[in-house]
Amino acid sequence: MTPAQRTFPFLAASQFAVALAAMAQSLPAQGNLDTIPRLVEQDGRHALLVDGAPFLILGVQAHNSSAWPAVMPRVWPAVEFLHANTLEIPVYWEQFEPDPGEFNTSSVDMLLSQAREHGIRLVLLWFGTWKNGSSHYMPLWMKLNPGLYPRIIGVDGRRVDSPSPHSVAALAADTRAFSAFMAHLRAVDSAHTVILVQVENETGSWGSVRDYSPEAQKLFDGPVPQRLVDALGASTAQGTNWRAVFGANADEFFHAWSVASYVGAVAAAGKKEYPLPLYVNTALRDPLDPGPASTYESGGPTDNVIPIWKVAAPAVDILAPDIYLKGDERYRRVLELYARRDNTLLVPETRGDAEAARYFFMALGHGAIGWSPFGLDYSDSTPGAFGVPRVTEATLAPVALDFRLVEPMMREIARLNFEGHLQAVSEPEAEHMQKLDFGRWQAVVTYGAQPFSRGRDGLGNPKPVGGALVGKLGENEFLVSGESCRVDFRVSEPASTLQRDFLRVEEGAYSSGVFKPTRIWNGDETDWGLNFNTEPRILHVLLGTY
Ligand code: DGJ
């Protein structure tokens, strides 16, 4: 038995070779077998096509140590309770390659087969060279050889707990392993249960802005690659080395380029095996008050180095923000910074507590293809740690509300967003009214509106928990839904004397893309605007004037 087999005896590679081939044959199909998920862009709007149509990721990310057969029974009930349609979950390099060049696909196969049983899609997270800026998921045989797979050196000459992006051996090892992982997915996932893959996890370094090892220093003192100079329109008039071209930003930009080039090479190799959309997640810097690079994770795709990542790592399709920041303004600013024509907006990690669940609507309103709170499973993560409460149904309830509402019309919402016909907002901290313009009509959203009082007199909910979404279906026809809010309409033209008339308000549900009404709202249900509490309700509204 090798040391790795002793560590993971029940997952030894040899045990699975035969079972694997059998499993690849026997797994039930899910969706169109010919259509690999892909990203599309149109007029600056984006969609993830799954089985050929826009798909909205109503995601949940499992805790870091949940992707084990013994723990998954505590993951699925949470996924189900949340009404999530996608589980984001890690694939651990240390488990996948227990000995050099020996790949153990048992965990991947276990995830695929269980996801199919539950009718849930997967986003697999490749915990490879980087995990939160460190290299703790490198296999044991790599950890035992730090000379070949070194960490970076800080400005004071001490080792920093972050892998060197200049290690040729580490890059070769990660490239080989990630390629094997993607090739395996291609072989066993014609059903496209896996719709996206995350390459590494929160890349970059805490504790040092860059690597100050002699090899890194030599590169830093050398010329900035012309590709980067051209793409950034940087001036090389003062010289060509990093300091001369980028001045005070040189250390950070050099590290971003180094990390992005490494990750880009890993991603390109994996994509060659299987061209699934790939993304990299980001430990953010404060978008309003960033401070120096020494105060955040330097080298990852923070907002200021997105253009560097785009040049260095073209095989990475999405640079995605992990949003743990508090407050409306910061949340919104992050969404704005990452929703770009050249970058699809995806929120792969975020808070899912009662205060933050409403940001699901804000993300939708910025065109997100997915939104996924972190750590909502029953695995009892960091057991006993002070201040980490157990996840219970009460913990999951706020996000479950969002997903229970949208899951039955997920395809419609994704399509409307891609077509530019959807607007969605979350209840603001201070204001209690929002106006959404749809040409001739303006939707007015209020929070904490008084019962049996007309109009726009919302006082706000006791805590901001509301959210609304309005989709334009025709010139005078709208899909309207929300939580803890009131939605009404008025004629946009301010000088108009025309009043809005609810010609017909139908409550119903979508079935295979068709809206089936179950009742008509009228009387108290429409006279004061369209009121939503915490019951999931979908309305089709036909407007007229008098
Ligand atoms: C961000 C990381 O990407 C996750 O894997 C996890 O460590 C969370 N932070 C914990 O808050």
Report whether 425 contacts 445 (CB < 8 A): yes
The CATH number of residue 89's host domain is 3.20.20.80
Report whether 287 contacts 330 (CB < 8 A): yes
CA-64 nearest atom, ligand 1 = 5
> Left if phi > 0, otherwise alpha if psi is -120 to 50, otherwise beta: which for 321?
beta
Instruction: Tell me, yes or no, whether 75 lies in a domain.
Output: no
pLDDT of residue 513: 87
Pocket probe mutation, ligand 1, options 88, 132, 381, max atoms within 8 Å of Cβ: 132
Q: What 3-state class would DSSP assign to 199? A: strand
Ligand 1 in reach of 198 Cβ (< 6 A): no
Report whether 58 contacts 85 (CB < 8 A): yes
Ligand 1 in reach of 202 Cβ (< 6 A): yes
Q: What 3-state class would DSSP assign to 56? A: coil
| DSSP code of residue 241 | B
Which helix (H) or strand (E) segment holds residue 264: the answer is: helix 250-273
Query: What's the burial of 14, exposed, middle or buried (CB within 10 Å: 0-12/13-18/19+)?
Result: exposed
Instruction: Tell me, yes or no, whether 15 lies in a domain.
Output: no
Q: Do 143 and 289 fall within a single domain?
A: yes
The total of structural domains in the chain comes to 2
Instruction: Kindly report the protein residue whose alpha carbon is nearest to atom 8 of ligand 1.
Output: 374
**Interatomic CA distance for residues 448 and 484, integer angstroms:** 7
Instruction: Tell me, yes or no, whether 14 lies in a domain.
Output: no
Of the given ranges (36-45, 49-58, 230-239), which has the lowest mean pLDDT? 230-239
In angstroms, the Cα distances linking 466 to 60, 357, 424, 519 are: 20, 9, 11, 24
pLDDT of residue 451: 77
Q: What does 108-170 look like in DSSP terms, one character per residue? A: HHHHHHHHHHHT-EEEEEEEEEEETTB-TTS-HHHHT-TTTSPEEE-TTS-EEEEE-TT-HHH
Q: Do 97 and 225 fall within a single domain?
A: yes
Under the banding of pLDDT at 50, 70 and 90, the label for residue 456 is low
Name the token pair of 69. 């057969």
Q: Is the pLDDT of residue 13 over 70?
A: no
Partners of 196 in beta bridges: 123
Given 319, 336, 367, which residue is the final one in a domain?
367
Residue type for position 179? S
Q: Is the pLDDT of residue 382 over 90?
A: no
Instruction: Kindly report the protein residue whose alpha carbon is nearest to atom 2 of ligand 1.
Output: 132
Report whether 339 contacts 417 (CB < 8 A): no
Alpha helices, H only, 8-137: 13-26, 76-82, 93-96, 106-118
**Distance (Å) from CA 194 to ligand 1 centroid:** 21
Ligand 1 in reach of 132 Cβ (< 6 A): yes
**Distance (Å) from CA 202 to ligand 1 centroid:** 8
In angstroms, the Cα distances linking 262 to 173, 252, 254 are: 12, 15, 12
Q: Could you give the percent of the chain with pLDDT greater than 90?
A: 87
Instruction: Tell me, yes or no, whether 206 lies in a domain.
Output: yes
Ligand 1 in reach of 201 Cβ (< 6 A): yes
Residue with token string 């008025």: 490
Output 17 or 415, whichever has higher pLDDT.
Answer: 415
Instruction: Tell me, yes or no, whether 462 lies in a domain.
Output: yes
Ligand 1 in reach of 297 Cβ (< 6 A): no
**Distance (Å) from CA 157 to ligand 1 centroid:** 28
**Distance (Å) from CA 362 to ligand 1 centroid:** 22
Given 344, 367, 390, which residue is the final one in a domain?
367
**Angle at which helices 168-188 and 250-273 pack, to 10 degrees?**
40
Ligand 1 in reach of 88 Cβ (< 6 A): no
Instruction: Tell me, yes or no, whether 62 lies in a domain.
Output: no
Q: Is the pLDDT of residue 16 over 50?
A: no
Name the token pair of 201. 């996890």
Q: How many CB atoms lie within 10 A of CB 244?
A: 16
Which residue pairs from 218-221 have beta carbons closer than 8 angstroms and sit at least 24 positions apart in sequence?
219/166, 219/254, 219/258, 220/250, 220/251, 220/254
**Interatomic CA distance for residues 185 and 195, integer angstroms:** 11
Instruction: Kindly report the protein residue whose alpha carbon is nearest to atom 5 of ligand 1.
Output: 64
Q: Do 276 and 358 fall within a single domain?
A: yes
Pocket probe mutation, ligand 1, options 201, 203, 281, 372, max atoms within 8 Å of Cβ: 201
pLDDT of residue 20: 32
Q: Is the pLDDT of residue 29 over 50?
A: no
Q: Do 167 and 237 fall within a single domain?
A: yes
Residue with token string 């309005």: 470
Pocket probe mutation, ligand 1, options 60, 64, 351, max atoms within 8 Å of Cβ: 64
**Distance (Å) from CA 483 to ligand 1 centroid:** 28
Nearest to 130 by CA among 177, 172, 103, 93: 93
Under the banding of pLDDT at 50, 70 and 90, the label for residue 17 is very low
**Interatomic CA distance for residues 279 and 37, integer angstroms:** 13
Q: Do 363 and 445 fall within a single domain?
A: no
Report whether 462 contacts 354 (CB < 8 A): no
Q: Do 326 and 436 fall within a single domain?
A: no
Instruction: Kindly report the protein residue whose alpha carbon is nearest to atom 6 of ligand 1.
Output: 64
Dump pLDDT digits (tens) for 457-475. Answer: 688 999 999 999 999 999 9
Dump pLDDT digits (tens) for 97-136. Answer: 999 999 999 999 999 999 999 999 999 999 999 999 999 9
CA-90 nearest atom, ligand 1 = 5
CA 437 to chain CA centroid, Å, is: 28
Cα dihedral across residues 220, 225, 228, 229: positive or negative: positive
**Distance (Å) from CA 115 to ligand 1 centroid:** 22
Instruction: Tell me, yes or no, whether 378 lies in a domain.
Output: no
Report whether 103 contacts 416 (CB < 8 A): no
Q: Is the pLDDT of residue 380 over 60?
A: yes
Q: Do 436 and 294 fall within a single domain?
A: no
E strand map for 460-537:
467-474, 477-483, 485-491, 500-511, 514-521, 530-532
Ligand 1 in reach of 64 Cβ (< 6 A): yes
**Distance (Å) from CA 218 to ligand 1 centroid:** 33
Instruction: Tell me, yes or no, whether 53 lies in a domain.
Output: no
Under the banding of pLDDT at 50, 70 and 90, the label for residue 452 is confident
Q: Do 434 and 345 fall within a single domain?
A: no
Domain encompassing residue 469: 424-545
CA 288 to chain CA centroid, Å, is: 21
Q: Do 357 and 437 fall within a single domain?
A: no
Q: Do 221 and 140 fall within a single domain?
A: yes
Ligand 1 in reach of 502 Cβ (< 6 A): no
Instruction: Kindly report the protein residue whose alpha carbon is nearest to atom 1 of ligand 1.
Output: 132
pLDDT of residue 173: 98
Q: How many CB atoms lie within 10 A of CB 32?
A: 14
Pocket probe mutation, ligand 1, options 346, 374, 382, max atoms within 8 Å of Cβ: 374
Report whether 483 contacts 398 (CB < 8 A): no
pLDDT of residue 4: 36
**Interatomic CA distance for residues 331 and 464, integer angstroms:** 14
Which residues, in sequence order, are CB contacts of 99 under 8 Å at separation 6+? 2, 4, 5, 13, 139, 141
Of the given ranges (61-65, 201-205, 239-243, 256-260), which has the lowest mean pLDDT? 239-243
CA-324 nearest atom, ligand 1 = 11
**Distance (Å) from CA 132 to ligand 1 centroid:** 7
Query: What's the burial of 517, exposed, middle or buried (CB within 10 Å: 0-12/13-18/19+)?
Result: middle
Report whether 507 contacts 521 (CB < 8 A): yes
Q: Do 490 and 351 fall within a single domain?
A: no
**Interatomic CA distance for residues 128 and 137, integer angstroms:** 6
In total, the chain counts a number of residues equal to: 546
**Distance (Å) from CA 108 to ligand 1 centroid:** 20
Residue with token string 């697999």: 124
> What rounded mean pLDDT belongs to the chain?
92
